[in-house]
Amino acid sequence: MINNRNKDYTNIKMNNKQTDFVKKVFSEVPTTYERTNHVLTLGFDTIWRKKTAKIAASHGGTEWVDMCTGTGEMAAYLSRLAPQGTNVSAVDLSSEMMAEASKKLEAENIKFFEADVKDLPFEDGSIDLITISFATRNINLNKKALVKSFSEFRRVLKQGGRFVNLETSQPPSYMIRKLFHLFVKLFVKQVGSRISGSINGYLYLSKTIPKFYTAKELADIMYQAGFQHITFKRLLFGVAAIHQGTKL
Ligand SMILES: C[S@@+](CC[C@H](N)C(=O)[O-])C[C@H]1O[C@@H](n2cnc3c(N)ncnc32)[C@H](O)[C@@H]1O
């Protein structure tokens, strides 16, 4: 049964073609999404989300938000780590993905918002911590658009608030990068679509991975959005990276 207790679904206008496309893609995969990721990453996605949640939770504060939460894995890890008195929220465009998130045990401690992260339902300077995992690629691949979205994150963060981003990246080694892209080309679409039944979904996901930014480029995008003290940590030869930035 789906737990609707803490949902505060803020309906938004869907007038953007790309947003509609992303919404459609993710409406097709919620029940198989986590299993597919675990198979495709050999379980590394879970290790990386837990690591990111631990880093994020260490910054303290009482208002934490996981953006593009999907099936809510990161929000669930945050909620396990949250000290008493901390409010954990989760935002996503897809009610189908969040319906899956609502089935998690931790969901009763998470407040869900159906919203576009480009137009957040939070006051200026009201949030201590923002996390996002494996979704920055889906917001927009265009640099200008990403700067704009990250600026929206910055708007809602308090001064001193932290933004922690986990995303696929580009290994600095040419050979490893080529092997990684080959793996994505051969497996993500085929295996992803077979497990999930969504051919379009995993075709789209497999195409965005090789096009995404290097760790340094993403750090620069965060900087252009106004974040400071930006650091990043590459994971597994750089196939993924955890970025952190602060609103000063
Ligand atoms: C690849 S999933 C990642 C889910 C989850 N964060 C994880 O770690 O697995 C991308 C999610 O981002 C959501 N999404 C994409 N663009 C969005 C936007 N502009 N606003 C809100 N959610 C968005 C999708 O609906 C989807 O649930």
pLDDT at 21: 85
Q: Is the CB of 78 under 6 A from ligand 1?
A: no
Q: Convert the pLDDT of each residue in 143-173 to its tens digit.
A: 999 999 999 999 999 999 999 999 999 999 9
> How far does residue 26's CA lie from ligand 1's centre (Å)?
8
Beta strands in the chain, from DSSP E residues, in sequence order = 63-67, 87-92, 110-114, 127-133, 157-168, 228-235, 240-246
Is the model's pLDDT at 1 over the cut of 80?
A: no
pLDDT at residue 45 in the model: 97
Q: 28 in ligand 1 pocket by Cβ < 6 Å?
A: no
Cα(92) to centroid(ligand 1), Å: 6
Q: Which residue's CA is the nearest one to ligand 1's atom 13?
A: 68
Q: How many CB atoms lie within 10 A of CB 87?
A: 16
CA-proximal residue: ligand 1, atom 4 (nearest): 70
How far out from the chain centre does Cα 82 lie? 19
Select from 68, 97, 209 the residue to mutate for testing ligand 1; criterion: most ligand atoms less than 8 Å from CB: 68
Cα angle 17, 30, 120; round to 5: 50
* Ligand 1 contact, 82 CB (< 6 A): no
- In this structure, whether the domain defined by 17-246 belongs to CATH 2.60.120.460 is answered with no
Residue range 113-129: mean pLDDT, rounded:
97
Task: Write down the domain spans for the chain.
Answer: 17-246
Q: What is the pLDDT of residues 195-237, one digit of tens each?
A: 888 888 888 888 899 999 999 999 999 999 999 999 999 999 9
The band of 37, judged by pLDDT with boundaries at 50, 70 and 90, is very high
Q: Alpha-carbon distance 15 to 54, whole Å?
A: 36
Is 203:193 a contact under the CB 8 Å cutoff? yes
For residue 12, pLDDT beyond 60? no
Is 86 a pocket residue for ligand 1 (Cβ < 6 Å)?
A: no
Ligand 1 pocket, residue 76 CB under 6 Å: no
- 39-58 tens-digit pLDDT: 999 999 999 999 999 999 99
